[in-house]
Structure 1
Amino acid sequence: MRVIGLAGWSGSGKTTLLTALIPLLTARGLLVSTVKHAHHAFDVDTPGKDSWVHRQAGASEVLVSSATRWALMHEHRGAPEPRLAELLGKLSPCDLVIVEGFKREPIPKLEIWRAAVGKPPLHADDPGIILVASDDPCPAARVPVLPLREPVRVAEALLEAAQPISHVLARLEAGD
């Protein structure tokens, strides 16, 4: 497994780029998984469904399975949010893991930057950012800048930049 992150301010287009990259990567025969960090409470369950009722009753984990997919919901119940290393360990083996969010984690990342968002580039202060994708001139870029509107080129660069999970886990443990 290899790992690469996407970082950028809210509204920069991380999810839009990711949804363009995944089909390009899977068309090459790669098995791609993602880890998405949510900055707010979220729910994948529906009030009134049995699984929701189980969680409301106090179950710490509820696994829902059907012929097309399964999902495991884990309630923190006061425990701290798991670290990225722990979440990566929960994934089934695949070729590439793309992490969206977790922008402060010391993993290799592609920054999506747009001037219209009104925020400075992150790569100036984050040594983990090794590439930038932008549709604007990127001031004082210290890393290669790719055209955001050319997802094939971005996919190529992403594959080259992704690092083995063992290297990523070592960096996370060291807290680089």
Structure 2
Amino acid sequence: MNVMGFAGWSGSGKTTLVEQVIAALSARGLVVSLVKHAHHSFDIDHAGKDSWRHRQAGCREVMVSSDQRWSLTRELRGAPEAGLDELLAHLGPCDLVLVEGFKRAAIPKIEVWRSVVAEPLLHPDDPRIVALATDARVESALPQLDINDPEGVADFIVEHLGLRTDSRSAP
């Protein structure tokens, strides 16, 4: 499975960049999936909906399906948080999985860093960071990508992972 992570501090622009890179990679004919880590409690369901009520009643897993999508929600109910490998095992076939968050995961990552975010760079302490997407020039031997150029970031991912794209769709 081809995996590329995006790591960076809150407010660095990871979500915006990942969203734009997904669009760029998808336009090239790649099937892209995403795993996003949340540091807090989150709910994709809405209070009062049937599936929410079933979870509240005690279901460990609730699957909702329609003619357009399906979604599985699993309540951990005190069990340990799932690791990235376990989460990846639940995904269907795809060309590439992008991972947002999971800073310490043992996967290749692009560090997203903005000069206005007053946090230290991650890559000096993480040998799995393979490039830096930034809005500033940084002293580093890593390839530096323009955070405002999602096509360039997509080019890097395709080349770094050796992905084959649909040449008819590629820019």
| TM-score after normalising by structure 2 | 0.92
Give the drift of 1:66.
Answer: 0.9
Q: Distance in 2 between matches of 1:158 and 1:132?
A: 12
* Aligned residue in 2 for 1:68: 68
User: Is there any run of 5+ residues in structure 1 with no aligned partner, and where?
Assistant: 165-176
Show CA shifts across 1:81-138 (max 9, x none): 0100000000001001000000111210000111100011100110010100111111
Give the drift of 1:142.
Answer: 2.8
* Aligned residue in 2 for 1:103: 103
* Aligned residue in 2 for 1:142: 141
- Is the contact made by 1:4 and 1:163 (CA closer than 8 Å) also made in structure 2? no
Q: Distance in 2 between matches of 1:112 and 1:158?
A: 14
Q: Structure 1 stretches (4+) deviating beyond 3 angstroms?
A: none
Give the drift of 1:9.
Answer: 0.5
- Is 1:81 aligned with 2:81? yes
Aligned length: 163
- One-letter code of the match for 2:4? I
- Is the contact made by 1:7 and 1:112 (CA closer than 8 Å) also made in structure 2? yes
Distance 1:163 1:97, change over 3 A: farther
- One-letter code of the match for 1:141? S
In the TM superposition, 1:1-176 aligns within 5 A as 1-138=1-138, 140-162=139-161
- One-letter code of the match for 1:47? A
RMSD, matched Cα: 1.3
- One-letter code of the match for 2:153? V
Secondary structure of the structure 1 residue equivalent to 2:54: helix
Q: Distance in 2 between matches of 1:28 and 1:88?
A: 23
- Is the contact made by 1:6 and 1:14 (CA closer than 8 Å) also made in structure 2? yes
Secondary structure of the structure 1 residue equivalent to 2:131: strand
Give the drift of 1:40.
Answer: 0.2
Q: Distance in 2 between matches of 1:161 and 1:42?
A: 33
| TM-score after normalising by structure 1 | 0.89
Q: Percent identity between the aligned chains?
A: 57
- One-letter code of the match for 1:154? V
Secondary structure of the structure 1 residue equivalent to 2:20: helix
Give the drift of 1:56.
Answer: 0.5
- Is the contact made by 1:62 and 1:74 (CA closer than 8 Å) also made in structure 2? yes
- Is the contact made by 1:63 and 1:70 (CA closer than 8 Å) also made in structure 2? yes
Q: Distance in 2 between matches of 1:107 and 1:73?
A: 25
Q: Distance in 2 between matches of 1:112 and 1:163?
A: 21
Show CA shifts across 1:8-40 (max 9, x none): 000000011011111111111100000000000
User: Is there any run of 5+ residues in structure 2 with no aligned partner, and where?
Assistant: 164-171
Q: Distance in 2 between matches of 1:118 and 1:163?
A: 34
- Is the contact made by 1:5 and 1:107 (CA closer than 8 Å) also made in structure 2? yes
